Structure 1
Amino acid sequence: MKRIFELTTKDIESLSKKELKQIIATSEGRTVVSETIVSYTPYIREVSNLELAASFGADMITLNTFNFNAPFIWGVHPEIDAMQGMGELVKKLEKQIADNLVDTDYIRKLKKMVGRLIGVNLEPVPEGSTYEPGYCLSRENLERALAYGFDYIVLTGNPNTGVTHETICEGIKLAKEVLGEEVLIIAGKMHGAGSGNLYDVACVKDFVECGADIVLFPAPGTVPGFDLELAKQMTNTIHEAGALAMTTIGTSQEGSSESVIEQMALLSKMAGADIQHIGDCGTFGMALPENIKTLSIAIRGIRHTYRRMAQSILR
């Protein structure tokens, strides 16, 4: 069985949920997830943030603010340039979004383009929320995620969404019902987004019992009081419950110095994390690209990192 950083585009196209989970589990804590805000224009003009993240060593790419009611990702449609005249731009955007709504291969095409596993954030917001419906967890959006061919979904909370431990639990149950054994379910809280941080170890066990395949929590050093010992407790509890553990850098420290990223990466590995996530606000909709590479090198060295980077070109 290949390790996560050895997978080719062809491998990814045929992976089952069970196989993917097993591959991550046997990759010895060397899986890198990069999150990108797809509603922003790209960090580098004419290159999507997905391609940039892949080229700097990411194995998995999570789309944040992907709108299921108006699906569109800046940077993957070269004919649509924000520098165009406004009238022409709006016309092209409307047509592309209309096409994407009926193109169930939209995400599958992106996976072929970047050669990486692709997931999407869905916000399990409380009832009565005014948050953009296209970003929210719902039966309809879950069915669309399944149809598009996403490899995984992430149930968490962006700032000011009102997401809580309880709404995440209910969201996991709904996701499990709709997605079954087709799509990996990742759930948890990266920081105080929504309604406060989660420090209670029992919370992560609840997420597993509700059906999460992977549970996320803050990397040591990202939120106040989250240190190596607490991260170890979280990881051990998740593993004992039968799931995988993912540490996250989601506090805009994805834009910190490389030495800070290295420390967080090593502490997360000491804690036993199976996956390490780096967030989307280091710069314009993604981590500083060099910090993705730094994270990768810290947990798996130059040999595996450079091969991963080269696989963005060599499919």
Structure 2
Amino acid sequence: MQRILNCRTSDFAQSVSGSELRQAIVACEGRTIMAEVAAGAAPLYGEVTNGELLCAFGADLLLVKGMDCHSQSIQGCRDLKHFKALTGRMVGVSLEVLADEATDNPRACNLANLDRITGADFLCLTAYDKPGVTAQRVCEAVQQMRAQTSKLILVAKFYAAGLACAEEYAGYITAGADGVMVPAPASCRGASETRVDAALAAIRQAGGLAITTISSSQEGADEETIRQIGLASKRCGADLYNFGDAGVAGMADPQAVYTLSLAVRGRRHTWVRMAASLAR
């Protein structure tokens, strides 16, 4: 697979391994953007899905959050397969890591749900600050998923107190993940460039993708704030920038995606991504 910046719809339609997709992102040298879409949120504008809007403003990859793995329903379209066809992008699915496998939960991280979402191009194991959802529990979930799939696996472990220690993030790579999300500088309490830099360095040293995420509602911040967060993330060595779903209507503000794209990769790559036809 060529670098993500040069990929078009025909490239994104191919089936690739996690290692191939990881290398395609690394090859972009910190110029890849991913954006989340809340599956249950009504589209901002009824004529298009939120995913289409995000792609129109420069997103390279999409991550569907909160999807029922049984129905695979996404507001504004029929299902995950239809969503991929409409956007022309690689689409990942977020599975929530809970204190146990929660086999009756259609959104949880377990083998039954993994078997249902064969159409997903990659996975994100998302873990919130809940009782029993420890770093060890997340590592166990990563190991379980890795034993069953060669697809790209990302980890997003969030804490109310802010960042975890750098060693914890590196530990997810050792457990089998391909990349780990860390709060972007200034995106949460205590997320200084120094701390984020140390966390990303540990992830890269362990062999993983270093990802910064704006997931604290600053997805809807003003352009200058987004620009500064993006440039700080790039200074820290981020391979990939992720936007959460709390900007507007279950996604980042599309203008925020455009602003970040201009800041970290300029007009050429931004406008080409926005203009490229789905027929390519």
Q: Structure 2 length normalisation: TM-score?
A: 0.93
Asked if the contact 1:143/1:178 (under 8 Å) is kept, the reply is no
How big is the shift at 1:76? 1.6
How big is the shift at 1:15? 4.4
- Map of 1:86-235 to 2, 5 A cutoff? 107-127=80-100, 133-145=105-117, 147=118, 149-157=119-127, 163-179=133-149, 181=150, 183-192=151-160, 196-235=161-200
Tell me which amino acid in the other structure corresponds to 1:232: D
Q: Which residue of 1 aligns with 2:37?
A: 36
Asked if the contact 2:8/2:278 (under 8 Å) is kept, the reply is no
SS at match of 2:54: helix
Question: Would the alpha carbon gap of residues 275 and 161 (structure 1) be closer, same or farther in structure 2, given more than 3 Å must change?
Answer: farther
Q: Which residue of 2 aligns with 1:94?
A: none
How big is the shift at 1:312? 5.4
Deviation digits for residues 30-61 of structure 1 (CA, Å, limit 9, x no counterpart) = 00000010101101112101111111100000
Asked if the contact 1:57/1:308 (under 8 Å) is kept, the reply is yes
SS at match of 2:106: helix
Q: Which residue of 2 aligns with 1:236?
A: 201
My pick for the range that moved more, 133-142 or 303-312, is 303-312
SS at match of 1:259: helix
More helix by share: 1
Q: Which residue of 1 aligns with 2:241?
A: 276
SS at match of 1:143: helix
Asked if the contact 1:9/1:111 (under 8 Å) is kept, the reply is no
Q: Which residue of 1 aligns with 2:226?
A: 261
Asked if the contact 2:67/2:74 (under 8 Å) is kept, the reply is yes
Deviation digits for residues 207-264 of structure 1 (CA, Å, limit 9, x no counterpart) = 0110000111100001111111111111111111111111000000001101110011
Q: 5+ residue gaps in structure 2?
A: none
How big is the shift at 1:158? 5.0
Deviation digits for residues 105-137 of structure 1 (CA, Å, limit 9, x no counterpart) = x534432321111001101100387x9811100
Asked if the contact 2:3/2:23 (under 8 Å) is kept, the reply is no
Q: Which residue of 2 aligns with 1:57?
A: 58
How big is the shift at 1:159? 7.1
Structure 1 segments of 4+ aligned residues over 6 angstroms from their partners? none
Deviation digits for residues 272-310 of structure 1 (CA, Å, limit 9, x no counterpart) = 000000111111100111001111111101111011011
Tell me which amino acid in the other structure corresponds to 1:153: L
SS at match of 1:5: helix
Give me the whole-angstrom Cα distance separating, in 2, the residues matched to 1:161 and 1:63: 24
Asked if the contact 1:191/1:223 (under 8 Å) is kept, the reply is no
Question: Would the alpha carbon gap of residues 312 and 48 (structure 1) be closer, same or farther in structure 2, given more than 3 Å must change?
Answer: farther
Asked if the contact 1:189/1:198 (under 8 Å) is kept, the reply is no
**Count of residues in correspondence between the two structures:** 279
Give me the whole-angstrom Cα distance separating, in 1, the residues matched to 2:277 and 2:130: 35
Give me the whole-angstrom Cα distance separating, in 1, the residues matched to 2:192 and 2:6: 31
Q: Which residue of 1 aligns with 2:46?
A: 45
Asked if the contact 2:101/2:109 (under 8 Å) is kept, the reply is no
Alignment RMSD, CA only?
2.0
Asked if the contact 2:44/2:50 (under 8 Å) is kept, the reply is yes
Task: Work out which of the two has the higher radius of gyration on C-alpha atoms and give 1 or 2.
Answer: 1
Deviation digits for residues 177-234 of structure 1 (CA, Å, limit 9, x no counterpart) = 111x2x1000032453xxx544211101110110000111100001111111111111
Asked if the contact 1:216/1:247 (under 8 Å) is kept, the reply is yes
SS at match of 1:293: helix
Between the aligned residues of both structures, percent identity stands at 35
Q: Structure 1 length normalisation: TM-score?
A: 0.83
Give me the whole-angstrom Cα distance separating, in 1, the residues matched to 2:278 and 2:111: 37
